[in-house]
Amino acid sequence: MTERKNSPDCRKYLVTGFSGFVSRNYIEYLGLRNSEAEIMGIDLREPDIRFDQYRKLIIKFQRIDLRDREKLCKVVYDFKPDYILHLASFSSVAGSWNNPCNSFQNNVNIFLNLLEVVRAIGSNCRIICVGSSEEYGNVKISDLPLSEDKIPNPTSPFGIARLSQEMLAKLYVEVYDLDIILTRSFNHIGAGQDEKFAVSSFAKQLVELLQERKNEFLVAGDVTIIRDFIDVRDVVKAYYQLFREGKKGEVYNICSGYGISLQNIIEIMSNKLKLDITIKEDRSLRRPKDNPVIIGSNRKIKSDIQWNNEIPLEESLNDVLNYYLIKNEYSAKGKSTHI
């Protein structure tokens, strides 16, 4: 994209984890707002995004390992962001059981590096520290929906790493006066999410079953667990509003406020595709320890910044299914690519 002189209203965003699912949706949100912004993306891999499709966005990218403090310091110093959206993470709960060291290095350590760089430079930028509903851990039904004042008790290496990240953020607010807002973001879903996540995995399998009409078994882990799912587009809208209206040092749940079991998710999607399927449990997909129910309260974020989740679950599931219908070229068989 051709560079231009920034207007006084143009904001500069540094986005870590730039090549990921949430970042793509955040850039899309900024583009749809049709407001000027300059974005510096950081990631270990090249982004799958056309920078020139957004008329009012100046987008740049650098391949940087966030554990490399010297390179990170240079990009933050040179770019001078107004906002830092820290999305880079080891985001798999199941994967954290297989490699807890990676989970800590790529959650806690990289975030600490970022904080130290911002502190050393003396930047007054605002940072969003993205956490997870997994920080809450096992809870009593009487505690639902979970509010931000519920004491976290994580039950996985991932959840512990995310809570450690949150504790670091609070410390740097209190001791060094860094401008950090913290989130506990619940399970977000949408088109293009990696199939290692449950809903995308189910959608991919269902579309393949629709095409092949073989043994209609859907492979899953524990489908009785209940989660609070929210569309990724509502999540990135919350991040945008928190940058402008969120309260420094505060923790915000980003959630729908409603829970649904994975089994019900599968039933809804299979009914949409008119499939009669059988769920086949793969015990290897079960985690050593899991939270049976996680449902959040979004009262605080609605009160503080007048945010609201607007996209219903059914629309989100339609989008995920349509993504795989189109991706798998089901239209080539003379069928509709949309549901």
pLDDT at 287: 67
At 328 the pLDDT is 78
Question: In order along the chain (339 residues), what is the average pLDDT of each group of 10 residues?
Answer: 52 97 96 92 92 91 95 97 94 77 87 97 97 94 96 92 96 98 97 94 94 80 94 98 98 98 96 92 73 95 97 97 85 57
The predicted structure's pLDDT at residue 4? 43
Q: Encoding tokens for residue 125?
A: 């930028």
Q: What is the pLDDT of residue 35?
A: 82
By three-state DSSP, how is residue 11 classified?
strand
User: Is-cis flag, bond preceding 145, omega within 30?
Assistant: yes
Residue with tokens 């080891």: 90
Q: Would the CA dihedral through 162, 179, 228, 299 be positive or negative?
A: positive
What pLDDT sits at residue 333?
54
278 beta partners = 217
φ, ψ dihedrals at 139, nearest 5°: -135, 160
- Domains parsed from the chain with CATH numbers: 11-189+229-254 (3.40.50.720), 198-227+259-293+311-331 (3.90.25.10)
DSSP 109: I
Q: 313's torsion region: left (phi>0), alpha (psi -120 to 50) or beta?
A: alpha
pLDDT of residue 3: 43
What pLDDT shows up at residue 303? 97
- Using DSSP's 3-state secondary structure scheme, residue 339 falls into coil
pLDDT the model gives residue 8: 54
At residue 128, the pLDDT reads 98
Nearest 5°: the CA angle 295, 193, 270 is 75
Whole-angstrom distance, CA of residue 161 vs CA of residue 191: 27
Q: What pLDDT is attached to residue 335?
A: 57
User: pLDDT value at position 34?
Assistant: 84
- b/e sequence 201-239, b meaning 16+ C-beta within 10 Å: bbbbbbbebbbeeeebebebbebebbbbbbbbbbbbbbb
Angle between helices 69-79 and 110-121 in degrees, nearest 10: 50
Q: What is the pLDDT of residue 91?
A: 72
- 3-state DSSP of 183-243: EEECEEECCCCCCCCHHHHHHHHHHHHHHHCCCCEEEECCCCCEECEEEHHHHHHHHHHHH
